[in-house]
Structure 1
Amino acid sequence: MIGKKIAERIGRPDLIDILTTELTGSELTSLLLEVFSRKTEQLSPADLLRVYQTNRFVKPADVDMVGLRALEDQVISVASDFDFIPLELSPVAPLGSCSVVATADQKKILSATRQTEVVADATNALALHIADLRDGKRNAITSASDLLRFSAIHRHVRTPTLPNIPGMRSHFKIACFVTGGRDTGNYQFEKVALTEHIAMMTAFFRDTLQIYDLSFQLYPRKGYPDPVAFIGKLSDYLHQQQPDCPIEVMTDGLNDNNYYKGLQYKISITVQDQTIEIGDGGFVDWTQQLLQNKKERMLTTGIGLELLYRLVERRFS
């Protein structure tokens, strides 16, 4: 661990424990702000330029902004037709937004000061927004069956080292869609929410972009009493509601994916003879954890919008 080695090198092996357990969040923030202030005082304009030239997090994306914006407008328009309310999220989220309720490692996220982190997954930020709206201590929910639908397009930042591939960046645009609600029995939330997400994705890819080679794969995941039977019920309902939608139930078994609960689904398209997994989604227990209520339900979907644009950019040029 690098932090431990640094602490031992300066003769304070207990430094990390002191910073994490003996300081309050506001005290640690004040300390870090003072450290960063002194660090910037040591920087010259030449140093600043050198950092810009070498830091992989700060360079602009090598994508046509006008064309990408046009694609963004299309997906938001389709989502709005399905009653997903678009949100312009903050560039930062509370510290731990991904790692506390999901399986993300905080080391893969760009942590910041003032108890925040740079957004690494907008669906986690949207989960916090839904949980805040559904918090009975603060807001009155008119009905347990009410569904909250939100969409967001956000540039995500993640820290893992990337392969040396042209166009690969540590930041990228993702279109995210979430539905939050409450269990009302007979998997009604799950049936309705999943059908809406898949219908919306079909309307976007097939009807709007004319990408007709489109398919959805359903994977059983741990988290429900009988995930295989659960997938079967959802598949039957989907076929009734969307009879012309290509849906395949996968039999890969219950692997070690602990991110999704009960079901994960993937979206595949074929463009220019390339078959690409362009997005995925599934049920998560984040609002259950945030609100400490096992009845809460949430479905997320995310598509690689920047990757999609690179595949279809000729249409926007």
Structure 2
Amino acid sequence: MDRVLRQAGGPEILDVLAERLPGADLTTLLLEVMRRRAQVLSPADVLRRYGHDRFVAPAQISFRRLRRAEDAVLSAVPANVELITLAPVAPLGTHTTLGPVDQNKVVSTIRNSEVAADPTNGLALEAALRRRAAPGPDPVRLATLQRVVRAQRMEGATTFAHFTLFALVTAGRDTGDLAFERQHVAEHLAILTAAVRACGVADPQVLVTVLDERFERTVEGLDAGRDPDRQSGRGYYSGLCFKIHGNGLELGDGGFVDWTARLLGNRKERLLISALGVDRLS
């Protein structure tokens, strides 16, 4: 960063761009920068970039295999869950302010938005709008399939720069006695395991991690094992989280978060999120 700032004219330029320019003015400036950069590119330059940029390469999973897995997953979605199609971008800061996720792990755009990195964030925004419009006792159940992009480099044969996630969220109001939590964690796990089985995984394994001892009661009656030593997701989830495994792979993840409570400024709001990696199921 120090080297870049010296070349750009000094460290004060970062303050100007990040803090002093209004958002619309910064967008205007960056649009002109990208317009000029694009003008000097040749078709050969674009092809060269296409051949080396991991973000723009086609999926490693064949279209037909992925489509079959998507259809199989969707076959497990019950009628009371509304399937929606999310935009491929979200407002700038969506993943950082809700997640939290480091902004460097997200592909930011120059129009105050960012490429979707997790559909549960977009579903949470939509659920919050619906809860604000109708804050009654009926929960909002939403699901989607979305191709997402993540900027961090990860090693392994089943990790990709972009991949498809099936995501499910349930947003509602605290009804006391952890009734919301007990009902909807069972619903999510039933949907997710049915989706995994529909993709040909005969015996998916659910492992639950209780993050708050009060949530011990929500595990009662679940067909799930325990993973008390899980470290990932602590600080991201609250109360309880879970993972789904099958065929030697981690296939899904989920748990309770406080996103709608913070979005709506109401501590009584509850949100359960979960997702499956469809590429790994294909």
TM-score of the aligned structures, taking structure 1 as reference length: 0.84
Deviations 1:281-314 (A, max 9, x none): 00011111111111111101111110111xxxxx
Alignment of 1:251-270 (within 5 A): 251-252=228-229, 257-269=234-246
Looking at structure 2, the residues matched to 32 and 258 of structure 1 have their Cα atoms a distance apart, in angstroms, of 34
Deviation at residue 5 of structure 1 after TM alignment: 2.9
Question: Which runs of structure 2 are paired with 1:51-90 in the superposition (5 Å)?
Answer: 51-79=49-77, 81=78, 83-90=80-87
CA distance in 1, matches of 2:42, 2:196: 49
Number of the residue aligned with 2:119: 122
State how far apart, in whole Å, the 1-side matches of 2:12 and 2:34 are.
22
- Deviation of 1:86 after TM superposition, in Å, equals 1.0
**Contact kept in structure 2, 1:76 and 1:151, CA below 8 Å:** no
Name the CA shift for 1:111/1:210 in 2 (closer, same or farther; >3 Å): closer
**Which residue, 99, 108, 111 being the options, matches 1:111?**
108
Instruction: Tell me how many residue pairs correspond in the alignment.
Output: 282
1:260·1:284 contact (CA, 8 Å) conserved in 2? Answer: yes
- Within 5 Å, give how 1:1-317 maps onto structure 2: 2=1, 4-79=2-77, 81=78, 83-135=80-132, 139-141=133-135, 143=136, 145-163=137-155, 165=156, 168-206=159-197, 208-209=198-199, 211-221=201-211, 227-230=212-215, 232-236=216-220, 239=221, 245=223, 247-252=224-229, 257-269=234-246, 271=247, 275-309=248-282
Give the drift of 1:254: 7.9
Q: In 2, Cα distance between the equivalents of 1:154 and 1:228? A: 34
Specify the SS of the correspondent of 1:180. Answer: strand
**1:163-192 CA distance string (max 9 Å, x none):** 3x5564311111111111111111111111
Q: Distance in 2 between matches of 1:214 and 1:35?
A: 50
State the identity %.
Answer: 38
In the alignment, the residues of structure 2 paired with residue 251 and residue 94 of structure 1 have an alpha-carbon distance, to the nearest angstrom, of: 35
- The answer on whether the counterparts of 2:131 and 2:140 sit within 8 Å (CA) in structure 1 is no
* Structure 1 unmatched ranges of 5 or more: 222-226, 310-317
Contact persistence 1:220–1:253 (CA under 8 A): no
Contact 1:82 1:196 in 2 (8 A): no
SS in 1 for 2:70: helix
Partner-residue secondary structure (3-state), 2:152: coil
Aligned partner of 1:224 in structure 2 is none
Between stretches 15-24 and 5-14, larger displacement belongs to: 5-14
Deviation at 1:140, TM superposition (A): 3.4
Distance 1:281 1:216 in 2: 11
- Between the aligned partners of 1:45 and 1:33, the Cα distance in structure 2 is 21
Residue 213 of structure 2 aligns with an amino acid whose one-letter code is: V
SS at match of 2:75: helix
Asked if structure 2 preserves the Cα contact closer than 8 Å seen for 1:57 and 1:171, the reply is yes
Q: Distance in 1 between matches of 2:152 and 2:176?
A: 41
Instruction: State whether residues 263 and 282 of structure 1, in contact with CA within 8 Å, keep that contact through their aligned partners in structure 2.
Output: yes
Using the TM superposition, name which of 150-159 and 70-79 deviates more. 70-79
Distance 1:166 1:187, change over 3 A: closer
Offset at residue 63 of structure 1 (A):
1.5
Work out whether residues 82 and 200 of structure 1, in 8 Å CA contact, stay in contact via their aligned partners in 2: no
Please list the CA deviations of residues 100-146 of structure 1 after superposition, one character each: whole Å capped at 9, or x if unmatched: 121200001000021100000110011111111112xxx233x2x21
TM-score normalised to the size of structure 2? 0.94
How far apart are the structure 2 equivalents of 1:41 and 1:177? 42
* Partner AA of 1:228 in structure 2: E
Quick one: structure 1 residues 43 and 23, their matched pair in 2 at CA, closer, same or farther if it must change by over 3 Å? same
Report the Cα distance in structure 2 between the residues aligned to 1:192 and 1:256, rounded to whole angstroms. Answer: 22
- Evaluate the alpha carbon distance shift between residue 71 and residue 188 of structure 1 in structure 2; reply closer, same or farther with a 3 A threshold: same
**Runs of at least 4 residues of structure 1 off by over 6 A?**
253-256
How far residue 82 of structure 1 moved from its aligned partner, in angstroms, is 5.1
2: distance between equivalents of 1:10 and 1:229? 54
